[in-house]
Amino acid sequence: MIIQNTHIEINLKNLEHNLNFIRSKISEKTKILCVVKAFGYGSEPIEIAKRLEDNKVDYLAVAYSNEGIELRKSGITTPILVLHPQTDDFDEIVKYQLEPNIYSFRILESFLKKSGNLKEYPFHLKFNTGLNRLGFSFSDVEDIYKKISCLQSVKIKYIFSHLGASEDFNEKDFTQNQIKLFEKISEKMSTIFQENFKKHLLNTSGVMNYSKFQYDMVRTGIGLYGYGNDDKYEKFFKPVLSLKSIISQIHEIKKGDSVGYNRGFIAAKDTRVGIIPIGHADGISRSFGNGRSSFIINGMKASIIGNVCMDMLMVDISKIQCAEGDEVIIIDSNSQNADQLAKQNSSISYEVLTSLSNRIKRIFIK
C-alpha cells in the first residue's frame, strides 16, 4: 500500500545493523558514543535514542543542551554529552544531568561558577588538534590544571579531540599528525595532573580507517544512519531513513508553456509534468531545481524542472508510465540514497538528511 502523502520511513532494524557493524570494528572493551544531534540526523531523536538505549550504547551526544533536555524528558537515562554548550546552559545541564564539553576558558569559567556546590560533576575536555573549531590548545594544559586541580566540584571524565579528514586517505599525513598531537596532549595531561585520563578521538571514518587509536571510546554519527563516507564501506551500512512522496497532479503542457515561479522552466516540446508535495520548506533546497536533481518514479528518473517551491516541486514525467497517486522515491536504500541525491547537487549526505523538516510525517519500521 502506498501512503498518500510525503513521509519519512525510519527503519530501526537498519539502525541496529549499523550499530552492530561499527561495534564489530572495535574491541569489546571500547565504549561507543552515538550522536543523535540535529533531530537524529533528520530522522527522529527520541525513537532513535530509545532504540540505542535498548541496545546498551554507552553514551549519546547532542550539539546543544536543549536537544539533551528533550531526551531526558522522554525518559532517556544514558549519559549524554553536550558538544557545544553555551555560557547560559549550565543550570539546565546540571538539572538534567548532562555532561558538557568544555572547550575554552570562557566556557570553563561559566561552568565552574555553576558547579560550586557539586561533587565531581563530570565533563569532557576538548582539545584542538588541527580541525581549528572548538578546543583548548596544547599550551593551555598548565592553565587548565591551575584552574581545576584543587576543585572537588568537577571532574574530567574524558579528554577528546576530533579528526578533520579521517575519511580521506589523501590527507593521511594530516590525520596522523592530529593523532600524534592528541597523544602528546594526553601525555602532558597525565604528567601534570598525575592521572591517566580516559580518551575518545575516532568518528565513524576514524573507526573504519584508524581503529588502532580507538582508546577508551569511539563516536559514531553518520555511520549509525547508514553512510560510511567511503565506497568500500557503503555496502556494509544500511540507510535508516527513506523519504517518499506521491504525484499529486499531472499536467500536459504544450511547447512554449512555462512551469513554476519566474517561469523557471519553458517547455521546448510538449511535456508531461508531475506535481510532488514537497518543497524547500521540507528540506529540498531550491538549488536542487532546474534539472540538477531527480527523483525515482516507477524505477525511472524524473528530473526536477523549474524552481523548487516552498511546499511542492515539479518533475518531468514525459517518458514515465505513471498516474496521479503513484509513489515517488526521493531517498531510500535501493533506488537513490541520500549520498547519491546529494552528489547531484554538489552536497553531502549530512546536509540532505539534516535539512529534512520536522513537519514531514515520520513512520517507524520496528
What residues act catalytically? 37, 261
Residue 39 corresponds to which cell in the numbers above?
A: 533531530
CA atoms within 13 A on the CB side of 42: 26
The residues with which 295 forms a beta bridge, in sequence order, are: 302
Q: Which of 195, 205, 194, 163 is nearest to 180 (CA)?
A: 163
Answer whether 107's CB lies under 8 Å from 147's CB: no
CA atoms within 13 A on the CB side of 88: 1
Distance of CA 13 to the CA centre of its chain: 18
10 Å Cβ neighbour count for 133? 11
Strand locations in 154-293 (E): 154-160, 199-200, 217-220, 241-246, 249-253, 258-259, 265-266, 271-276
Collapsing DSSP to helix, strand or coil, 279 comes out as: coil
Q: Which of 189, 219, 192 is nearest to 207 (CA)?
A: 219
| CA pair distance 161, 164, nearest whole angstrom | 10
Q: Are strands 121-126 and 154-160 parallel, antiparallel or unpaired?
A: parallel
| CA pair distance 105, 145, nearest whole angstrom | 12
Q: Which of 306, 281, 279, 278 is nearest to 292 (CA)?
A: 306
Q: Please name the residue that has the C-alpha cell 520496528.
A: 366
| CA pair distance 333, 310, nearest whole angstrom | 26
Answer whether 151's CB lies under 8 Å from 120's CB: no
Distance of CA 290 to the CA centre of its chain: 28
DSSP 136: B
